[in-house]
Amino acid sequence: MVKKILYTLALYSFLFYANSTPALAMDIYWRPANDNNTTYSQRPYATTNKVDIQVRVENAKTVEINSEEAIQIAGSDSDLWLLRDYLLKPGENTIKVKVEKYRYNGQNKKDSTETDDLRITVIDAPLSGSQRCFEAIGQSLPAFNKSVVLKVPKETAIVDHSNRSAWDQSVTILANSPQFNLNPDYIPLSPLYSIEAASPSYSLSNPGELTLKFDAAAGGTNNELITVLYALPSFQATSLQPSMLQRIGSYNLTTESITVPFSNTGFGHYMVVRTTKDFKDFYLRKTGGVDLEWARSYVVTLWSRGIMHPLATYQDGSPVPEEFFGLTNKSGQNELPVTRYEFISMLVNGFRLPFSPLSLQSHIFSDIQNLNIIEIQYIEAAVKAGWIPNTPTTDGKLLFHPGNPLTREQACVFMANAAGLPLKTPDQATSVLKTYFPNDYSSTYSWQRPHILACIQSGLITTTEQGYLEPNRTITRAEAARMVYTILQKTQKL
């Protein structure tokens, strides 16, 4: 009898406790945002910072997730509540859920509150498949423990094809292992980073710069051969091929990071690599050709940084073999001159002079119509920056003569203007040049003498015969590489 009474009391006590303090009936799940191929789970680690959070709970009146209101899905009787596109921070995140529930105690309806939480750690490393989402462009977007840092000027916005502020200002940075094999000319030193706007047609109102970390151990000791490859955003990362990647001008090279310009249309794919390609031009001496071994470090460095490019064809129109850079003629006995256009393009690339797409009606020079739009942009950007002086008019037209060989005198004008070298007055420069180069200083234009003197004093151009400037001697492509390399180093642009 006593046992029966004790059992009855225990049963009533249990029922009373169960009714007064109901057991928590809530499950919290998450999955990467907009990823319908991934199921919801309670995994404690994530490689993305943008997630959809789902709560399964009965009799809920409202559900708040970290103080943001979730929506009920699949009907008013559903147990599922969802918060889409929630941004996590790198490292540990606590997802706190607060539920207002309907409770029934006999005939009386009574609301109650229940809470629970879930911890998710966002791995802050560029693992393959990782992504970082940003709601707006901001001035600095660091991702993967600053393995990628995109910086833009203040008040930069994402704009649409009409150059109006886009309704969606978000940016996504992804890291992936390359799904392709690079050709032997490159050794990958970083993941393939994809930087995307909400639409492929979006661009930036202002250009910025992108800094990428790389594997210093794999980079070797010759850092001058480290550069960045770029592919357009229209290419899918999973279907990229080596031919779709191009070298772009790189600078601020340290032992672990490198920086490249991020143009207005810079969204796309980036990867740090070390170049391994060499060219037979530097070994012609062994076969009786011209000795260009001295030019190797200048040419290969500028090539690896996307500042100088191999010659496509010889003067007779025949193609330059792929294993040659095109520093000499076919026989290898004579060096080829650099053209006015190529020298200007090297300076514009090296100094990262910004330019914008131009209409066909905006050409400054009348003799550049046969160039492509990028080549025209280089020339006209240099004109607007004051690097190229006005040439004499012919029938009211300005001429640039892009295909003409560049002379030493012309090169000095371009370089002094590009580097902003301090210039003497024409009279002061004439006095100095007359003293040291009496044999041919008079063959120079007086207004160009300050530029020539500045380049000589800066070590950008050398003289080989005492008393002679040789202002009208044409510059070879190898000499141009040395000049551009030197001026970029002096101005800290490499």
Map out the domains of the chain as residue ranges.
22-122, 130-275, 337-490
Q: Per residue in 245-282, is it b (16+ CB within 10 Å) or e — as a string?
A: bebbbbbebeeebbbbbbbbebbbbbbbbbbebebbbb
132/143 Cα distance (integer angstroms)? 6
Whole-model pTM? 0.82
Output the pLDDT for position 408: 96
Q: What is the pLDDT along the chain (494 residues), one digit of tens a residue?
A: 434 433 443 433 333 333 333 445 689 999 999 898 999 999 999 999 999 999 999 989 999 999 999 999 988 889 999 999 999 999 999 999 999 987 765 555 667 899 999 999 999 999 999 999 999 998 999 999 999 999 999 999 999 988 999 999 999 999 999 888 887 888 899 999 999 999 999 999 999 999 999 998 876 667 788 999 999 998 888 888 888 998 888 888 888 999 999 999 999 999 999 988 899 999 999 999 999 999 999 999 999 988 999 999 998 999 999 999 999 999 999 999 999 999 999 999 999 887 665 444 457 788 888 888 888 888 888 988 999 987 666 677 788 899 999 999 999 999 999 999 999 999 999 999 999 999 999 999 999 999 999 999 999 998 888 889 999 999 999 999 999 999 999 998 88
Nearest to 336 by CA among 488, 480, 483, 485: 480
Q: In CATH, which of 2.60.220.30, 3.30.379.10, 2.40.10.220, 2.40.10.10 is domain 130-275?
A: 2.60.220.30
Sheet holding 148-151, edge to edge: 140-143, 148-151, 208-213, 257-262
Output the pLDDT for position 219: 65
Fold that domain 22-122 belongs to in CATH: Immunoglobulin-like (2.60.40)
User: Hey, what are 208's tokens?
Assistant: 């910025």
What does each C-alpha distance from 199 to 36, 70, 252, 268 come to in angstroms?
20, 27, 30, 12
User: Do residues 53 and 83 touch, judged by C-beta distance below 8 A?
Assistant: yes
322/15 Cα distance (integer angstroms)? 86
Concatenated DSSP letters of 239-268: G--GGG-EEE--B---SSEEEEEE-TT--E
Furthest C-alpha separation in the chain: 132
Main-chain dihedrals φ then ψ at residue 65, nearest 5 degrees: -120, 110
Sheet holding 71-72, edge to edge: 26-32, 50-57, 80-87, 71-72
327/335 Cα distance (integer angstroms)? 6
Output the pLDDT for position 337: 97
Query: In CATH terms, are 22-122 and 130-275 the same topology?
Result: no
Helix H or strand E encompassing 351: helix 340-351
Main-chain dihedrals φ then ψ at residue 27, nearest 5 degrees: -125, 135
Helix (H, G, I), strand (E, B) or coil at 360: helix
User: Hey, what are 253's tokens?
Assistant: 């090279």
184/338 Cα distance (integer angstroms)? 28
Helix (H, G, I), strand (E, B) or coil at 417: helix
What does each C-alpha distance from 422 to 26, 52, 188, 418, 479 come to in angstroms?
73, 59, 41, 11, 23
User: Hey, what are 238's tokens?
Assistant: 């999973």
- Identity of residue 360: L
Output the pLDDT for position 380: 86
Torsion angle (degrees, nearest 10) of CA 283, 289, 290, 295: -10
Residue 83 CA from chain centroid, whole number: 33
Nearest to 120 by CA among 30, 27, 25, 24: 30
